Amino acid sequence: MPPKDRIDALAATTLVVMNVLLGFNQAFVKLVNDGLAPVFQSGLRSACAFVPVLAWALLMRKRLSVTDGSLGLGVVNGLLFSGEFCLLFLALDYTTVARVSLFFYSMPVWVALGAHFLVAGERLTVPRLAGLAVAVGGMALALSGGDGADSGASWVGDLLALGGALFWAAITLLTRTTRLARCSPEMNLLYQLAVSALVLMAIAPLFGEMVREVTPAVVAIFSFQVVVIVAIGFVVWFWILTNYPVSNMASFSLLAPVFGVFSGWLIFDDPLTPGFVVALLLVGSGIFLINRPSVPRRAEST
């Protein structure tokens, strides 16, 4: 499939569904944290998801190779993936789903900033720079406690979630700007799952007890994450990432924090103070401005 220069109906529909699932995923992770410690959960999820992804790739005869020059970059991508989910899962032990969603799904802001320097044709215009300033202002408001939250109780989780967003943005840019873009989505995901399973399972004991209180509900939610969020969702994400413009694709991620905040309120009764809503609106408006397509100038008549 040749790369597209815009988001078509298929990609738009897929991105909407994916971002709704990703929004609720933070709540799923927090629920499973009650049974499995965050870092252990993250590593076990990668290990379990590796099997169905590999089986699917082999069944469908997808292009899999570690001898095509992508191995080194694949390992780097896997290390970034490890950092992303280590920080994200830990963040949900320290703060609310709503706050994690605000900071983690700031990813498009950092993608657009990086794409300005790394991706041809995706430079930051004046409106995009304004959007960057607005989004950063919203995050600063939330971090400062000006959103009405008890910043002393949540700032660690906030910073962990923000760090996870930076790792996610780095993965997006690395995949788009290197030979990883020529790998199949399944190969990209297998690199990430293999490396993160090894790294996260190895370091999990450093974070204390790995198993807390496993219940049938925890097992069911964890299984849903493995099959739907990781094995299916991430393959689709990489397929879109390698075939559509980075910034336009990332703009759909605006849906994820909205549904993330909604899931936190719905499941955990996360408080939504007026200040937090303002911070969320600022971040969302910034993402919209950053990813708003520029309008070409009309040619002057002669």
Structure confidence at residue 2 (pLDDT): 59
Residue 205 gets which letter from DSSP? Answer: G
Q: Does some domain include residue 302?
A: no
pLDDT band for position 299 (cuts 50, 70, 90): very low
- The answer to whether residues 147 and 141 touch, using CB atoms and an 8 Å cutoff, is yes
Residue reference for tokens 């469908």: 60
Query: pLDDT by residue (tens digit) across 251-272?
Result: 676 788 888 999 999 999 998 8
Q: Does some domain include residue 3?
A: no
pLDDT band for position 301 (cuts 50, 70, 90): very low
Q: Does some domain include residue 159?
A: yes
Q: Does some domain include residue 296?
A: no
Structural domain for 202, as ranges:
9-291
CA distance 69 to 179: 8
Residue 211 gets which letter from DSSP? Answer: B
Q: Does some domain include residue 168?
A: yes
pTM: 0.84
Domain count along the chain: 1
Q: Does some domain include residue 299?
A: no
Q: Quick check: 296 pLDDT over 60?
A: no
Cα separations in angstroms, 56 against 70, 74, 190, 253, 262: 21, 19, 11, 26, 33
Which carries the bigger pLDDT value, residue 45 or residue 17?
45
Which carries the bigger pLDDT value, residue 196 or residue 182?
196
Q: Which residues have CB under 8 Å from 112's CB, separation 6+?
A: 122, 124, 128, 131, 132, 247, 250, 290, 291
Query: pLDDT by residue (tens digit) across 190-215?
Result: 999 999 999 999 999 999 999 999 99
Query: pLDDT by residue (tens digit) across 232-250?
Result: 887 777 677 667 775 566 5
Q: Does some domain include residue 101?
A: yes
